[in-house]
Structure 1
Amino acid sequence: MSKGNGTEELLEWYRGNARDLPWRRPGVTGWQILMSEVMLQQTPVSRVAPIWEQWVARWPVPSAMAASSQGEVLRAWGKLGYPRRALRLHECARVLAAEFDDVVPADVDALLTLPGVGAYTARAVACFCYGARVPVVDTNVRRVVARAVHGLADAGNPSTTRDLADVEALLPTDMARAATMSAALMELGAVICTARAADCARCPLPDCAWVDAGKPPSTAAPKKVQKFEGTDRQVRGKLLDVLRAASAAVERARLDIVWSHDPAQRDRALDSLLVDGLIEQTEDGLFALAGEGAQPSPPRNSSTATR
């Protein structure tokens, strides 16, 4: 695949086969796309879609979220994982409401000034909402380019300069077609040219360097499967579950019972939640979600936090 070679086939395939994702529908705003992009980081579409629709109904504009507490946003985040993303969205909403008149900017450089918005998210919003001709590179796109252009089974270690240049070279000059091309490359990697099993029989590309080379196997070391059971992440989630379900700050004992077999790990997880600003400890030793403690105190080390 090279610029112009396979473009029409890929665009036609995308128009006829793209998944009906809610954030792709007409009328979706930059703010709503920004929410979807943050939610989709390290989280499957199937888990994001219902939560995203709830958020759009509850917080259709940034000022609506800015008027809510951090705790309300964390509670609505539910089981999406990596809850610091929720805090970043809340902070972003406050900036958009105060400094951008509730409108997400279209310019990549302006987007990059927003809290929690990195290079990928800024380009994704500019492209998918405003039709900007900018390369949007995620894991799926990197894999498609590695195979179709470079003849490699996988993309290897990321290189921002190289990856952006690779995708830039494939984009049509027309802005509308370029934006669709970005979405099509991403879709192809998500549903056809997957990491686990490339479905080459259904691929719309007329040629692929990897197929032409005989589909050489990956030379990369196998990735370790990240376990969840028994990790600090699991403990953090259990502690947050208690505070999400509570209507007021809770005593330490309510938290201790959810992970009683390893107190040291529980203390470490609780301490990290305090340091990350996801929860608060009040002066009288109670715990609450961020923004919901009556008298929050500064984060403390596990050796000094109230037992």
Structure 2
Amino acid sequence: MSWYNTSARQLPWRDPGTDPWAILVCEVMSQQTPIARVLPAWEEWMARWPDPTALAEASPAHVIIAWGTLGYPRRALRLQECAGVVVEKWDGTLPRSREDLLSLPGIGPYTADAIIAFAYRERTTVLDVNVRRVLARIYGEAAPPTSLKAWEVERASHLVPDDGEAASQWNAAIMELGALICTARNPRCEQCPIAPHCAWLKLGKPEAATPRKVQAFEGTHRQARGKVMRVLRTAHAPIGVEELRERSGLPEVRFEPALTTLLADGLAAATPGGIQLPIE
């Protein structure tokens, strides 16, 4: 926590008094997306839709366009769905309890805990990939399990301070340590404030028994969807299916499944004039 107080990045959603909704937007945008890409998108988003009411009233097409290239654009629509529920059920104020947060569209255990810790400054255990990696190494493990285990949560919870404010700072500090110092590749152990306590370092930084596979992006279904969405985001009118395929640069065998799933997810809409972003 002392290291965090002097070394943490200055990010706007960490400013005192930041609205819980703004922190939720940051958390959703940050899922599998680097902070460097999130920051300008978050600032523009919050200037345009500063609260759940504003976002709930927006056109889905404008929401998708504003999401830009953050990836996984379904997150944008789920965030808008979440805004609608918050307005309807909680009068525009994000709820505080974990149970209520988990009932909202697009909010899972990690996001709920992050809101409780960083927005409401209450005690909870926040476990993202960075935190899990730091804790695994502290206990002499090269990497955490591929999926979150109950014993990881139990082990981590014993380290979180009892006081809500201190717990919030602790969660933020260990997360930042994993993001900046205890990185997955080439960790900067010589700069780590808890290196003397790291069992993994003392063991000589052993590699994981089963190296993690890095999923390729080129040629994937996700890439194909992104190419179709790129065309739709810049179009000013509905586009015929064949023209959409040509402008996406995809062969038919990749284009058709991509378009089918985009339509099913509500990220694209079929109209008499062609394909376009959803209007309502």
TM normalised by structure 1 equals 0.87
Alignment of 1:209-288 (within 5 A): 209-220=199-210, 222-259=211-248, 262-282=251-271, 284=272, 286-288=274-276
Shift of 1:69: 1.4
Cα deviation 1:169-211 (Å, max 9, x = unaligned): 1111221111100111101111111110121111111411212
Cα deviation 1:253-288 (Å, max 9, x = unaligned): 330212456212111111111111111112x25111
* Stretches (4+) displaced over 3 A: none
Distance in 2 (alpha carbons) for counterparts of 1:242 and 1:151: 48
Question: Structure 1 79/214 Cα, relative in aligned 2: closer, same or farther at 3 Å?
Answer: same
Distance in 1 (alpha carbons) for counterparts of 2:269 and 2:110: 31
The answer (yes or no) to whether the contact 1:252–1:285 under 8 Å persists in 2 is no
Judging by fraction of residues, say which structure has more helix: 2
Distance in 2 (alpha carbons) for counterparts of 1:159 and 1:87: 26
Which has the higher mean CA deviation after the structures are superposed, 66-75 or 246-255?
A: 246-255
Structure 2 residue matching 1:99: 3-state secondary structure = helix
Shift of 1:247: 2.4
Structure 1 residue matching 2:224: 3-state secondary structure = helix
Identity, % of aligned pairs?
Answer: 48
Distance in 2 (alpha carbons) for counterparts of 1:55 and 1:212: 45
Structure 2 residue matching 1:229: 3-state secondary structure = coil
Question: Structure 1 37/172 Cα, relative in aligned 2: closer, same or farther at 3 Å?
Answer: same
Distance in 2 (alpha carbons) for counterparts of 1:89 and 1:166: 31
How many residues end up aligned between the 2 structures? 279
Alignment of 1:76-87 (within 5 A): 76-87=66-77
Distance in 2 (alpha carbons) for counterparts of 1:141 and 1:17: 17
Unaligned runs of 5+ in 1: 1-10, 293-307
Shift of 1:121: 0.2
Question: Structure 1 142/281 Cα, relative in aligned 2: closer, same or farther at 3 Å?
Answer: same
User: Please, what is the CA RMSD of the aligned residues?
Assistant: 1.4
Among candidates 145, 150, 157, match of residue 146 of structure 2: 157
The answer (yes or no) to whether the contact 1:144–1:193 under 8 Å persists in 2 is yes
The answer (yes or no) to whether the contact 1:62–1:93 under 8 Å persists in 2 is yes
Distance in 1 (alpha carbons) for counterparts of 2:53 and 2:240: 33
Q: Give the letter for the 2:171 counterpart.
A: S
Among candidates 278, 282, 289, match of residue 277 of structure 2: 289
Q: Give the letter for the 1:152 counterpart.
A: E
TM normalised by structure 2 equals 0.95
The answer (yes or no) to whether the contact 2:27–2:111 under 8 Å persists in 1 is yes
Unaligned runs of 5+ in 2: none
The answer (yes or no) to whether the contact 2:110–2:126 under 8 Å persists in 1 is yes
Structure 1 residue matching 2:172: 3-state secondary structure = helix
Structure 2 residue matching 1:181: 3-state secondary structure = helix
Partner of 1:135: 125
1:70 aligns with 2:60: yes
